[in-house]
Structure 1
Amino acid sequence: MKQVTIAICNYNYERYLAAAIDSALAQDYPATTVMVVDDGSTDGSRAILDSYGDRVLALYKRNGGQVSAYNHAIASLNSEYVIFLDSDDVLYPSAVSEIMRLFDGGPWAKVQFRLDVMDSEGALTGAYVPNSEPPHDCGRLLRSGWLYPSPPASGNAYRVSALKQIFPVPEEGVNRYGADFYAIYGVALAGPIATISKSLGGYRVHNAGSETVAFANSEQLTKAPRAFNMRWAILRNIAKDRLEVELPATFLDFSHEKATFCSSVYRATFFRRWHWMLLDSGSYLHTIIANPFWSLKKKLGTLVLSSLCLVPYSPLSDFAVRYIANPLARRRVPGR
């Protein structure tokens, strides 16, 4: 039986850490090892880890950020496959078994799966991510600059040999976070991607209700575009130096353009909304119209919703922006 590691990178998440570890230990796939890399936590995380004894391989390091923790974890792996589980997320008991059925059936570099969105208390919201599925040959589209639809970090299982073609990733300077960016997209250059069209875990979203445009946990809306541009530049260098793959200077991604769209038109004046749509929306509209992962129906629906930001009634405009940006805004709310 092939060995699988569930690697949990933790920093000061003692409130959620036990739930993540328990979900990893509860897997019904016998050849599963649980590793926790603690990135210099200063809360009670170490006491929680110590309480598991030899059921968990605990690795302690000085604080260096998420990229540093991924580098350390990947260098320590002895298994053929790994799932990187965020320390505030959970896996369902059959996750590893279902993932390994796909790995056993093809030369996949990565198997990805849906995650149910939870609130900060762990209650299911009725939403899930991602809402689109990529083709197997994501690498071909990535070579043209298209970032493919992927779940957050916890929704991805990797062939370790593919990851080691991308990692280690530079840790210095501002590149402390976003390790999952390099894993998710870089690994598509090393082999094909498979998708499981069901939820195998839960993704916890903090402070992101249905009345906001915020959804991702790691970065503020206004910072995300700049961070993605920096990571793409680093990934280009890695691809060129280690894989002899030449990636384009810029990338195409609706999620990235959506962040710019939201920060520009949400709760903006009527004039500002029209000004942005007329003069600055070219890249945003291109990632809708030319999107190789979307159906015609989804493209038309997104264009119609986007056009609502031009109406003079700001509550309707802001609702449309929230609906586009935040999956929680699309759920049915009891009593409404």
Structure 2
Amino acid sequence: MKSVTIAICNYNYEQFLADAIDSALAQDYPATRVLVVDDGSTDRSREIIASYGSRIRAVLKPNAGQVSAYNRALDEIDTEYVILLDADDLLYPAAVTEVMRRFDSADYAKVQFRLDVISRDGAATGVTVPHSDAPADCGSLLRQGWLYPSPPASGNAYKTSALRRFFPIPETSEGRYGADFFAIYGVALVGQVASISHALGAYRVHKSAPKDVSFANSEKNTKAPKAYMARWGALRFVARERLRIDLPEAFHDFSHEKAIFCSEVYGAPLIERWRWFAFESRDYLHSIVANPFWGLAKKLATIGLSCLCLIPYAPLSDYVVRFISNPLARRGSAAH
């Protein structure tokens, strides 16, 4: 039986860490190992880690950021496959079994699966991410600059040898975070990706609510575009240096363009909304119209919703922006 490591990278998530570790230990796949890399936590995380004794393997390191934690995890892993589980998320008991069944069916570099979105206290919201499956050959589209649909970090299982083709990622003061970006997209350059169309885990959203315009635990929409650009630049560098692959200077991604759209339109006066659509919306519209992962119905619906932001009624315009940007807004009070 092939072995799998669930590697949990943690920094100051004492309130969620035990749930993540418990979910990893509860896997029904016998050859599952659990590794916890603590990146210099200053809360009670290390006490929690110590309480598990020999049931897990722990690495305690000074704080250096998520990229450093991923690099260290890849140094420690000695199994053929790995799931990089965020310390605030969960896996369902059959997750590894289903992932390994898919890995055994073909030569995949990554198997991704959907995640149920849960609130800070673990309550179900009725939302699942991502909304689209990725094609098997994501690499050819990535070489054209298209970022493929992927779940957050915890919804991805990797062949360890594929990750090591481009890890470790250079550690810089500007690039401490976003390690999952490099794993998710870099792996598509070295092999095919499989998608499982149902949820095998849960993604905890503890910094977002239905009335928020952002749907994330890290960068808000005002910061996300700059972070995406920096990470794309770093990915291009690693792809060129390690894989001899030249990625285009610009990339295309609806999530990225959506963040720009929201930061420019949300709460803006009517004249500013019209100005942005008239003069600055080209990349946003291109990420919809030319999107290779969407069908015609979804493209038309997204364009139609976006145009509602041009009507002279700010409450409706702002609601539409939240609806497009934050999946929790589509469920209303169900997310509480």
Please state which band the TM-score falls in when normalised by the shorter chain: over 0.9
Partners of 2:207 and 2:194 in 1: CA distance: 31
Counterpart AA for 1:73: A
Q: Is structure 2 residue 11 aligned with structure 1 residue 11? A: yes
Q: Is structure 2 residue 292 aligned with structure 1 residue 295? A: no
RMSD: 0.7
State, as a whole percentage, how many aligned pairs show the same letter: 63
Q: Is structure 2 residue 199 aligned with structure 1 residue 199? A: yes
1:47-78 CA distances to partner (integer Å, 9 max, x unpaired)?
10111000010000000000000000001110
Counterpart AA for 2:89: D
- Tell me the equivalent position of 1:256: 256
Counterpart AA for 1:264: E
- Tell me the equivalent position of 2:118: 118
SS of the residue corresponding to residue 104 of structure 1 reads helix
1:251-300 CA distances to partner (integer Å, 9 max, x unpaired)?
00000000000000001100110010100000000000000000100000
- Tell me the equivalent position of 1:246: 246
SS of the residue corresponding to residue 28 of structure 1 reads coil
Instruction: For residue 170 of structure 1, report the CA deviation from its aligned partner.
Output: 1.0
Partners of 2:220 and 2:213 in 1: CA distance: 11
- Tell me the equivalent position of 2:268: 268
1:198-222 CA distances to partner (integer Å, 9 max, x unpaired)?
0000000013111111111111211
Instruction: For residue 332 of structure 1, report the CA deviation from its aligned partner.
Output: 5.6
SS of the residue corresponding to residue 170 of structure 2 reads coil
SS of the residue corresponding to residue 109 of structure 1 reads strand
Mapping for residues 114-263 of structure 1, pairs under 5 Å: 114-263=114-263
SS of the residue corresponding to residue 276 of structure 1 reads helix
Counterpart AA for 1:134: A
Partners of 1:234 and 1:215 in 2: CA distance: 24
Q: Is structure 2 residue 36 aligned with structure 1 residue 20? A: no
Partners of 1:330 and 1:220 in 2: CA distance: 19
SS of the residue corresponding to residue 197 of structure 2 reads strand
Counterpart AA for 1:14: E
Counterpart AA for 2:241: D
Partners of 1:333 and 1:14 in 2: CA distance: 28
Counterpart AA for 1:263: S
Counterpart AA for 1:152: P
SS of the residue corresponding to residue 315 of structure 2 reads helix
SS of the residue corresponding to residue 59 of structure 2 reads strand
Counterpart AA for 1:231: R
Instruction: For residue 98 of structure 1, report the CA deviation from its aligned partner.
Output: 0.2
Unaligned 5+ runs, structure 1:
none
1:9-48 CA distances to partner (integer Å, 9 max, x unpaired)?
0001110000000000000000000000000101111110
Counterpart AA for 2:20: A
Counterpart AA for 2:86: D
| Contact kept? 2:210, 2:333, Cα under 8 Å | no
What's the TM-score, normalizing by structure 2?
0.98
- Tell me the equivalent position of 1:103: 103
- Tell me the equivalent position of 1:281: 281
Counterpart AA for 1:319: Y
| Contact kept? 2:5, 2:81, Cα under 8 Å | yes
Partners of 2:317 and 2:137 in 1: CA distance: 37
SS of the residue corresponding to residue 202 of structure 2 reads strand
Counterpart AA for 2:9: C
Partners of 1:37 and 1:63 in 2: CA distance: 11
Partners of 2:85 and 2:173 in 1: CA distance: 25
- Tell me the equivalent position of 1:34: 34
Partners of 2:188 and 2:18 in 1: CA distance: 31
Instruction: For residue 305 of structure 1, report the CA deviation from its aligned partner.
Output: 0.3
- Tell me the equivalent position of 1:83: 83
What's the TM-score, normalizing by structure 1?
0.98
SS of the residue corresponding to residue 247 of structure 2 reads coil
SS of the residue corresponding to residue 133 of structure 1 reads coil
What is the number of residues matched between the two proteins?
A: 334
Partners of 1:72 and 1:7 in 2: CA distance: 10
